[in-house]
Every structure is written in structure tokens, then in C-alpha cells.
Amino acid sequence: MKAKTRKRKKQKHSFILSLALLLAVGYFVISFISTQLDIREKEQEVAALQDQYEEQVAENERLQAVADGGDESEYMERVAREKLGYVMPDEKVYYDITPSN
């Protein structure tokens, strides 16, 4: 009779231990996958920020060249056209009013 109760207790402990181990492994697998997804997302953010940084560096170099005595009139004309919407006196401007779908 003692052998049967020991065997049942051992089976019960074994089942509980196996279940706990399975749950722990499942938790670690899910945590690992979640962490990998977060890492991939952050790497994409870093790549986007790196692109922005490189664009800004190129713009700064261009502005520095203008400030150092580059073609200032060309720069002022481009700024007037792009940022302020100015046009030359004899220039015709056409606006595309077709709806974009």
C-alpha cells in the first residue's frame, strides 16, 4: 500500500513539475519572440533616423557651401520658388487641379 501512494505522489509531483517546466519554456519562447520583434522594430527606426541624418548632413553641407561664397543668387531664387511660391515676372504657372485617387 505504501508503494502505491509513493508512486501516485511521485506521478503527481512529476506531472506538476512537467507542467511547470512546460509553462516556463512557453513563457521564455514568447518573451524571446516578443523581444526579437521589438529589436527588428528598433532597427527599422534606427535606419530611418540614419537616413534623415544623412539627408540633413547633405543639406548642411550645401548650405555651408552657399554661406562660404557659393552661388547665393541661385540659392535665393530656389528658396523663393520652393518655400515662398514666387515666380519670375514673365513665367506662366499651371496648377494641376485633377483629383488624385
* Per-residue pLDDT tens digits for 28-39: 999 999 999 999
Q: What pLDDT band is residue 14 in, cutting at 50, 70 and 90? A: confident
Secondary structure of residue 88 in the 3-state scheme: coil
**Long-range contacts of residues 44-47, Cβ cutoff 8 Å, at least 24 apart:** none
- In contact, 64 and 72? CB cutoff 8 Å: no
Task: Identify the pLDDT of residue 2.
Answer: 58
Residue 32 confidence (pLDDT): 97
pLDDT value, residue 48? 96
Would the pLDDT of 10 be above 70? no
Q: What is the pLDDT of residues 45-90, one digit of tens each?
A: 999 999 999 999 999 998 887 777 667 777 788 888 888 888 888 8
Q: How far apart are CA 83 and CA 47, in angstroms?
A: 28
Buried b (16+ CB within 10 A) or exposed e, 90-101: eeeeeeeeeeee
Specify the higher pLDDT residue, 53 or 95. 53
